[in-house]
A = this chain, B = another copy of it.
Amino acid sequence: MTSPHHHAGGSPARKLSPNQSKILGCLREAGEPMSAYAILDRVRKSGIAHPPTVYRALNDLMKRGMVHRLESRSAFIACGHGECDGRFAFAICRACDKVIEIPLGEKEQARLLGLAPAEISPETVTLEIAGLCESCGLAQASPA
């Protein structure tokens, strides 16, 4: 048995590997979406040196629901709820990249999956809403 290593809280299953912890920490610190290569730059000093290392960790973290991928931006972000196994949507400011995670209730999920035609039995949904956040909206309405 190994000693508990890190991350108090809720994880019922396996623990994170050191690399996974580093990368999750990096994303949580940032609080905003980062590309895999941006993550790589930030964790180089921690000894992570190659893209596959980052992608492996990200894929594992995504399986656990602790990191999500923003498809419309090819970027990754820490789950705002620590961990979630459900479905969620994102609202993304197209100007400043701010991201807000939107948890989807059961009903909402069902409704979204129900949009799929009979020919395709739906499994996962990717929903990203782009727009302008308040400050960027103001900045644009009255430029310098």
Q: A121-B131, A131-B116, A132-B120 are in contact. Are A126 and B94 (CB under 8 A)?
A: no
Stretch from A2-10, A31-39, A85-93 at the B interface: A85-93
* Docked CA distance A71–B121 (Å): 20
A106 at the interface (CB under 8 A from B): no
Contact, CB under 8 Å: A121 / B130: no
Contact, CB under 8 Å: B100 / A117: yes
Closest chain B residue to A137 by CB distance?
B121
* Docked CA distance A132–B116 (Å): 11
Contact partner, A127, options B93, B98, B108, B127, Cβ 8 Å? B127
* Majority-rule SS of A interface residues: strand
A101-129 near B? 1/0 per residue, CB < 8 Å: 01010001001110111011111111111
Interface residues of A in 50-69 (CB under 8 A from B): none
Contact, CB under 8 Å: B125 / A128: yes
Contact, CB under 8 Å: B124 / A130: yes
Residue numbers of A with Cβ under 8 A of B are 71-72, 89, 91-94, 98, 100, 102, 104, 108, 111-113, 115-117, 119-134, 137
A-B CB proximity, top 9 nearest: A122-B131, A71-B71, A91-B120, A91-B116, A126-B128, A123-B131, A71-B72, A120-B131, A116-B129
